[in-house]
Amino acid sequence: MQINQLPIGLLLQPSLRSIAYLSVMKELGVAPQEVVLMDVPISKLDAVRVESRNFNYKEDFFDVDLDIRQILENWGCVTHVVSTGSANDPQVHAAIDQCESAQIIFTGGGILSKKTLSRGKSFIHAHPGYLPEFRGSTCFYYSLLTDLSLAATVFFMEEKIDTGQIIARQRFRMNYQVEKSQPLFVDYILDPYIRAETLKKALVQYIKKGLFEQKPQPLAARPAYYVMHPLLRHLAINRVNQHYNQDAPMGVFLDED
Amino acid sequence: MSEMESIHKLLRHSFTPLNLGHYIGEFSVSRERDIEASGLVLNVEVIPSTANTSCNFGEWVCNQLVLERPCELSVGETSTEVLLKACVSHFATSMYLPEELQRVIDGLQKKFEVFHRIFTEYDSNLRKRSDKYRDPACYALLSIILQLRYYESGNFNDINTAVKINDLLLKSPWSALGKKCREAEIALSLEKNLLKEMNAD
């Protein structure tokens, strides 16, 4: 398949999420023209690959065996490798300054510092919650716990958490039984999957129009959510399992916005 | 490891591995064990049920703490404990918090989530006015208010912070252990009742 390089950069913190993002780019036949690649190992990768073989994540979600370095090489992306795992490290700043792209998709987590955000680039992030209702940390768990909803939003990052201009939002329906032997599914497959599918929506828009259309984000009525306690994360998963309908197709499906 | 480092470690929940088969059961057993060891006495049987829509949890808490109500005061003019008790009495009289107190509770919740401690005194801009942060009553009262607010709003952010505070009430270096802290008993009783109801959903 021919790959079309887009004038977009990628700030790539290796993770299952990065693999999911590269998977949708591969599916769309597009690639970033340049990448700032943090040279750090992927957390839990071997364990996720074992779980993936047992539960066929490749068919229903994304291919966790995709090799990040190999695919970037195949696509001919200009790659700046930095030996840090922090997006706010001076090495990353120097690499970003070398990038030609005005817009950079950030694949990592955490907060980008003022120094990182003020390098003359626009950073794009995929957040696992419907903004502005669900902003903050571990939002897909809060969303599931509140009303069994699931969504993600792609937006331009600002200094304030999850407040920037919205590029794309996507809701999902979930009918899934999380087995006891799938301890990594929610954090390492489901979360990256919904982000990547929403990023795909944003990229499709970019491919059609040559730009990311954006609209202002309404003011949030509630404070941002905080990192969820494991007890509530379990209650959220229990709620998903309690509502699993074995007579309906199993999976995670795109829903109308 | 310093006291605050041990508290940060206790509350570090990002990407905690999930044991899907046993976690909730293990959590309940461990909670019971910690409560028993602390000498705190829970009385969950007398908490009103959420199935009873006319029940007023604020009133129940006020009665348990023997608080007068209503109690009007301005933020910054009093201690954290007195301010939080005033919030509880507001729940007893109107089942919600006025805007100004909502903002104070949001601010204290954020401080707890970010810094993992609550000081015994703040000024009107929620800047600390004291270096003391080891008073279990302040933490327990914040946990109680967040749980009362959860009953009112259904916002899981509130119950989430309350569970974390309750962890510290039992496990931190300044825990309620052996202190006969009535506020901690109520915070943990509300949590037990809430989890029973959430699990039964």
pLDDT at B51: 61
How far is CA B136 from each of CA B111, B139, B170, B172, B193, rounded to the nearest angstrom? Answer: 16, 5, 10, 10, 21
ipTM: 0.90
pLDDT in tens, A148-207: 999 999 999 998 888 899 999 999 999 999 999 999 999 999 999 999 999 999 999 999
What would the two tokens of residue B91 be? 């729940």
Q: Which residue has the tokens 């419907």?
A: A130
DSSP B103-171: HHHHHHHHHHHHHS---SBB-TTS-BS-S----HHHHHHHHHHHHHHHHHH--HHHHHHHHHHHHHHHH
What percentage of chain A's residues is helix, strand, coil (to nearest 5)? Answer: 35, 25, 40
Q: Considering CB atoms only, which of B14, B20, B23 is closest to A178? A: B20
CB pairs under 8 A between A and B: 73
State how beta strands A4-12 and A103-106 pair.
Answer: parallel
Does residue B75 carry a pLDDT above 70? no
Please tell me the distance from the alpha carbon of residue A9 to that of residue A33, in angstroms, as a whole number: 6
Q: Which residues contact B183 (CB under 8 A, 6 or more apart)?
A: B65, B136, B137, B140, B141, B144
Q: With beta carbons under 8 A apart, name residues in chain A contacting B155.
A: 222
Whole-structure pTM value: 0.91
Q: With beta carbons under 8 A apart, name residues in chain A contacting B164.
A: 229
pLDDT in tens, A194-236: 999 999 999 999 999 999 999 999 888 788 999 999 999 999 9
pLDDT at B71: 61
Kind and range of the H or E run holding A50: helix A45-55
Does residue B55 carry a pLDDT above 70? no
Closest-CA residue to A103 (of A229, A203, A220, A245):
A203
Q: With beta carbons under 8 A apart, name residues in chain B contacting A223.
A: 106, 109-110, 157
Q: Does B27 touch chain A (CB under 8 A)?
A: yes
Please tell me the distance from the alpha carbon of residue B160 to that of residue B175, in angstroms, as a whole number: 19
Kind and range of the H or E run holding B59: helix B57-65
Please tell me the distance from the alpha carbon of residue A225 to that of residue A132, in angstroms, as a whole number: 11
Closest-CA residue to A167 (of A87, A103, A219, A255):
A103
Residue B72: domain span: 3-12+19-200
Q: Chain A: residue nearest B19 by CA?
A: A183
Please tell me the distance from the alpha carbon of residue A19 to that of residue A193, in angstroms, as a whole number: 10
Domains contained in chain A, CATH given: 4-255 (3.40.50.12230)
Please tell me the distance from the alpha carbon of residue A241 to that of residue A218, in angstroms, as a whole number: 33
Q: How many angstroms separate the CA of residue B138 from the nearest CA in chain A?
A: 20
Amino acid at position B122, single letter: Y
Strand partners of residue A34: A9, A78
- Total domains in chain B come to 1
